[in-house]
Structure 1
């Protein structure tokens, strides 16, 4: 595990640096910031990594996991390149809005992968933006420097247990972080496996491979205060098989943090929303087991503020038939055949305006194509399944999909990035002062065995300009979804481990790996490889697939929130 370089320099180095600064001052008559920049005051060093993967190129703060870091006057930012696999041009950006700040000395540095770090000490408060000029808007970052003043460091009382045991070993880590000044702390847990850090006070991680690991805790108060602590964890050889995924009932849905507007002038009122996605695989059931045994497909329901979007794709139904009875239901497929239709308002009657009806007319092969329905209201937790009725007799049910994971017991915790917090799926918040804020929503179970343990988070950035000067015009809004093409395989294959592939194109906003979801036979898969430059998505199953038909569903969301899905199938044939 890579160690973060210490913030305080040795005494001998400080003495030598002071002599060099004195000489430079004598020659030039002034001390000028440069890269590396001489430190005007002793401060901390905050590490930002250049992170390259097959899917993206990003600047990532060790403390926040994002491209934004808040520091104090006198602190130093150190850009490191040991997570890069190509060269990068680190370039300061001139202000494009009234609330951004001019760099005292422009920053123009080039480093190859594993090159020496670039350091810059900030001696003036402000908001400083930079980029890798090679990758443009894909790779921008922000340094927010706060004015000097009294600031107490955050406090921690961490508990990490167990710290040893056989694989699979589930370790719970709690920071118990707080701040004497009332600042909102940013907590980072790195479990030492190379996986992404977890940015919650309580985190849980399952070690499946024996070995010795170091769990690192970092807590920042956003004003230059930082606490760190390491915990060794020893995992021994286990005696039983490893369950690669938790039960579906313990899972959490995919979420996206949304903000509207995401840019404006202070005071800025923002409507936040937690977009929640649940999915299911259609299968023949009830009378469909005999009448339509090959019925299959996928269903997706996306809930957000003032909007519910439902999509459906079905095959194996009656060819060239009008399916006038397809509904979202309020019970699971196995529970009373899905129960009654889901209604947004239970005080209103059963009718299409108060329900979700993804109706369709099948083609000559019995397939629906992509069916989409959008309603201007957020669906409640009772929207749990999609039922397809017999086109010849609406009283009979032939297909069903359970929408999982469930959403009934979810809790929503928001940190708005300005020292305030909120709760609920769709909170409102007003930013009083200019700045670049990163709002974070954390979703967890409120009940059950994993209440407060398992969680999933997402962030959205809000940029607030000064009241006197209007912000720069907002960029053109990208409303075009990504394009998915060249999918495969689409026919019979004679290998049980075929490479599932697709090409993704989105010139408007770009696509990151975290926004690509691939499901095979209804189960979300891991280990996806994404080559962002060529737009290639690839996945190869580790366990062999069973002979027979397999359904693939690819969902891609670009940086502007536009979403596209594509479903196809192939058959594994015995050799």
Structure 2
């Protein structure tokens, strides 16, 4: 309340007691009237009293989202002193509420971070905002559809947004290309401005008014400027930068892990003309699981491996983890749609992005750890081919699903692959899973070649694999005419029986090793037998840790395959995959793991 004004000078000193008393009474009355007037003025100009705003976590047929009771969306504009209450009575699955660190100049750091998990109908989460700014939050389990923003204005509601006169130069040039960016930011209210330059490569933004950045890879990039006054005011502008090829033909692109491992598949691999065959390119990506985020401190020994095999109508995800909390159910392990270093893996991967987040539409390799904190082999099979956004596997804290303790990036990327098929009969096709019909009998070799369409490897590298398809002819029965006279006696030529086509794939048994071994050069072995056809050594493909090995020995009579690495294997778990194809085109595969503990 404003203090009442004080008289500029005291009343003259009154000598008469009665006049002095009257003067004092008059002074007191004057001060009382001034105080009442000031109180009335303060009350009439005070801001609205603080209030509580409700935001619901909603799961329904439309998806998963934050829904403000007042705005019908995930964005709220409130005043300092107001409270936001997140409720979960409209949720049908668990959600976490996590405050987000500033990703640019237009956002504000939370004075006290939020990281809460609630089951459906769980207790509300409340937060009172005491400082102006723009605060972002999310459910990290369903991040794309469940992010929200709280804009907190000063209590009196007055604020003007900052302005800028940005210069970005040069906007085009050959790689390596250096760009200078200057914001020239100001604020009409005299507030301090925070500037953020994001140069569109996934690297951390620059938080200075003048910044520069070097582009080393050709491409088109979006440079984003954000200027914030910390009170909800924001200036934003985007610029396009085009980086052309630097023209160095003597530099070959790197070859390590540039393309994933592929296998060509055919179903059925044999038939009768006309034979309709469904082809598929089986694509394998892998990753190493490490302690991550809060797991670096909580579970520093967390380690493991993941693998994803994508093919027509099928995705197989395998996982092996050690160093987690012993004898505990890990009920939050998911495939995510962003890399580990990108927004902590982002949200869960969904096969169908038009459908809500739920286990049937996602990949959850859940496990219960043993007494040593190990998962053992975990495998999840889904009847769909996962899209290119399935890029990482995240292990959440078993005690708080809002926290993430381990992550593995699946590589190489499958986002920009082109598939070219040659079906072996003079025709071609495209796509990962084409259909083709063979009109005539014969033995055909279909080959798929995979290349990259963008990036530094575009047009330079390729990987191919083939599959054999056997098509038999049809036998048209001969119908003899009804004789009018007895036919002459002849000795009929016997018709040879039509051979029965072999539809049984080879059997792969007695694989090893399958547990721990102390030798760094163990003998990897398997038995490959086929009852109806033969299996040749060149039709057996052995891969260890994703790499095709050479120098295998194969005893065809006994069906014994053996291979010993020429150099020592690293300590840890190794993945073996064996694919065998018989002479009729039937294919079998087997996958197993072992651990070197030397």
Is the alpha carbon distance of 1:561 and 1:361 closer, same or farther for their aligned partners in structure 2, counting shifts above 3 Å?
A: farther
**Equivalent of 1:315 in 319, 322, 326:** 322
Shift of 1:266: 1.5
Q: Whole-Å Cα distance in 1 between the matches of residues 340 and 270 of structure 2?
A: 43
In 2, are the aligned partners of 1:500 and 1:540 still within 8 Å (CA)?
no
In 2, are the aligned partners of 1:482 and 1:563 still within 8 Å (CA)?
no
5+ long unaligned stretches in structure 1: 1-241
What residue in structure 2 maps to residue 327 of structure 1?
A: 334
What residue in structure 1 maps to residue 580 of structure 2?
A: 558
What residue in structure 1 maps to residue 471 of structure 2?
A: 464
Is the alpha carbon distance of 1:287 and 1:529 closer, same or farther for their aligned partners in structure 2, counting shifts above 3 Å?
A: farther
Deviations 1:233-285 (A, max 9, x none): xxxxxxxxx9997344xx11111111112211211111111111111111111
| TM score, norm. by length of structure 1 | 0.51
Shift of 1:527: 5.7
5+ long unaligned stretches in structure 2: 1-250, 478-497
* 1:506 and 2:543 are equivalent in the alignment: no
Shift of 1:367: 1.4
Which of 1 and 2 has greater Rg?
2
**Equivalent of 2:596 in 567, 570, 573:** 570
Q: Whole-Å Cα distance in 2 between the matches of residues 299 and 276 of structure 1?
A: 14
What residue in structure 1 maps to residue 517 of structure 2?
A: 490
Relative CO higher for 1 or 2, CA cutoff 8 Å, sep ≥ 6? Answer: 1
What residue in structure 2 maps to residue 435 of structure 1?
A: 442
Q: Whole-Å Cα distance in 1 between the matches of residues 371 and 272 of structure 2?
A: 55
Give SS of 2:446's match.
strand
What residue in structure 2 maps to residue 425 of structure 1?
A: 432
Is the alpha carbon distance of 1:488 and 1:531 closer, same or farther for their aligned partners in structure 2, counting shifts above 3 Å?
A: farther
What residue in structure 1 maps to residue 264 of structure 2?
A: 257
Give SS of 2:344's match.
helix
**1:387-466 correspondence runs (5 A):** 387-466=394-473
Shift of 1:536: 2.1
What residue in structure 2 maps to residue 344 of structure 1?
A: 351
Shift of 1:569: 2.8
**Equivalent of 1:360 in 337, 354, 367:** 367
Q: Whole-Å Cα distance in 2 between the matches of residues 292 and 528 of structure 1?
A: 38
Shift of 1:503: 2.2
Q: Whole-Å Cα distance in 2 between the matches of residues 448 and 243 of structure 1?
A: 13
| TM score, norm. by length of structure 2 | 0.49
Q: Whole-Å Cα distance in 1 between the matches of residues 393 and 566 of structure 2?
A: 30
* 1:369 and 2:395 are equivalent in the alignment: no
Shift of 1:507: 2.4
Q: Whole-Å Cα distance in 2 between the matches of residues 404 and 287 of structure 1?
A: 23
Shift of 1:376: 1.0
CA RMSD of aligned residues (A): 2.7
**Equivalent of 1:516 in 542, 547, 568:** 542
Give SS of 1:566's match.
strand
Give SS of 1:299's match.
strand
* 1:246 and 2:255 are equivalent in the alignment: yes
Is the alpha carbon distance of 1:467 and 1:428 closer, same or farther for their aligned partners in structure 2, counting shifts above 3 Å?
A: same
Q: Whole-Å Cα distance in 2 between the matches of residues 380 and 339 of structure 1?
A: 16
**Structure 1 runs of 4+ with >4 Å offset:** 242-245, 479-482, 509-514, 524-528
What residue in structure 2 maps to residue 541 of structure 1?
A: 567
Shift of 1:528: 4.8
Is the alpha carbon distance of 1:389 and 1:374 closer, same or farther for their aligned partners in structure 2, counting shifts above 3 Å?
A: same
Deviations 1:363-386 (A, max 9, x none): 111111111111111111111111
Q: Whole-Å Cα distance in 2 between the matches of residues 472 and 323 of structure 1?
A: 54
Q: Whole-Å Cα distance in 2 between the matches of residues 266 and 525 of structure 1?
A: 37
Shift of 1:505: 2.1
Shift of 1:308: 0.9
Q: Whole-Å Cα distance in 1 between the matches of residues 541 and 514 of structure 2?
A: 18
In 1, are the aligned partners of 2:506 and 2:580 still within 8 Å (CA)?
no
What residue in structure 2 maps to residue 157 of structure 1?
A: none
Task: Report how many residues are paired.
Answer: 316
In 1, are the aligned partners of 2:270 and 2:503 still within 8 Å (CA)?
no
Q: Whole-Å Cα distance in 2 between the matches of residues 568 and 505 of structure 1?
A: 17
